[in-house]
Amino acid sequence: MPFRDIYGQGRQIGVLQSAMRRGRVPHAYLFYGIPGIGKAITARGLAQALNCREDNADFCGGCPSCLKAGRGTHPDIVVIEPEGVFIKIDRIRDLQNQIQFRPFEGRKRVFILEDADRMNDAAANALLKTLEEPNPSNILILITSRIHALPQTIVSRCQKVRFQPLRPEIIVSFLTGTKAMDAQSARAVAASAGGSIGRALEICTEALLNFKQEIAGILAAAGSTSVSILSLPDSFGKDRESTLQRLDIFREWCRDMLVYRELCDAGRLMHRDISGATEQYAEKMTGPDILDNIRTIRDARSAIEQNANRQVVLESMAFRLKAFGRG
């Protein structure tokens, strides 16, 4: 995707293009910001532009280098992703071996580390040595949604580019322009997306739309029987990523309850498709109870992110939730 087609990150892309035009591209970038706002696609675009044979500040998309990059077969564009939970030291050692040599056919060899904060300690220490001894023919692009989880020694050796959450009207434009979504639906999705196109696309999936209705039903039933709450963990998916995604939505829904309780303004809600349930709980729950629930969900997410037993964490969370009809 050419830089001009990336939504909402014009200033960040301008910084990158200025560096390319001046021939002052640093040896390491750190792209950071919330998930789903264009960090990875911009990193791939930068790698492609640096090796394009026709342009010096974007990429043409039609030269042999661009065609290979588009197919994911360019020998000088290397993407490193976590294997399971971590990026392991073997991948960084492989990077170190490759970085000793000049590019195979392009101007620059570019290494893109996605979810760079998920390097284990050994991998992070090995990468630090590479950053301390840069090779001018090679560029590293680290991508993270959790800059605080990266060692400061690594952060300080990269040029940081912060990617901003997108304004709702930009997400609406994306959904109506590329997904043929009607404007009303697009506005509802954008309100729930938290500034992220990636999140907007996830929310549009039937599974997540059904999840919100399902969890609202379970919590409503919990008012008449405590047994119903036992089924809550089953609603959060069968794998780590889907569970984290659903916990984010659940926490946002509780945030909606607090917003409505304090402001009585449905226009400020993120998840307007379940606004009826939101208003119901906002009216009968206290502010401190809602805040406690937000903290409970946040703690559960953090534990699962750190590889705690998913089922045990979710069951504990369910029994700690306050005032969803259970007192």
> Residue 93 half-sphere exposure, CB side, CA atoms within 13 Å?
5
- The DSSP element (H or E) to which 160 belongs, if any, is strand 159-162
Residues 89 and 106: their CA atoms lie apart, in Å, by 26
The model's confidence at residue 41, banded by pLDDT at 50, 70 and 90, is very high
pLDDT at 327: 43
Given a contact cutoff of 8 angstroms between Cβ atoms, the answer to whether 74 and 65 are in contact is: yes
pLDDT at 224: 47
166: exposed, middle or buried (Cβ count in 10 Å: 0-12, 13-18, 19+):
buried
Q: Is the dihedral angle over the CA atoms 180, 38, 25, 127 positive or is it negative?
A: negative
pLDDT in tens, 46-82: 999 999 988 667 888 889 999 999 899 999 999 999 9
Mean per-residue pLDDT for 136-153? 95
Lowest mean pLDDT among 74-88, 108-122, 125-139, 223-237: 223-237
| Residue 230, pLDDT above cutoff 80 | no
Residues 78 and 110: their CA atoms lie apart, in Å, by 6
Residues 280 and 323: their CA atoms lie apart, in Å, by 12
Residues 138 and 161: their CA atoms lie apart, in Å, by 18
Q: What is the mean pLDDT of the chain?
A: 89
Instruction: Name the DSSP letter for residue 139.
Output: E
pLDDT at 217: 84
| Adjacency order of strands within the sheet including 109-113 | 77-80, 109-113, 138-144, 28-32, 159-162
Instruction: Name the DSSP letter for residue 178.
Output: H
**CB count in 10 Å sphere of residue 198:** 16
Domains, the chain, with CATH or none: 3-162 (3.40.50.300), 205-320 (1.20.272)
Instruction: Name the DSSP letter for residue 162.
Output: E
**Helix intervals (H) in the chain:** 10-22, 39-51, 64-71, 89-99, 121-132, 152-155, 168-178, 183-192, 197-203, 206-221, 240-263, 275-284, 287-305, 310-320
Residues 305 and 114: their CA atoms lie apart, in Å, by 17
184 vs 256, higher pLDDT: 256
pLDDT at 265: 87
pLDDT in tens, 234-272: 889 888 888 998 999 899 899 999 999 999 888 888 888
Place of tokens 């322009």: 177
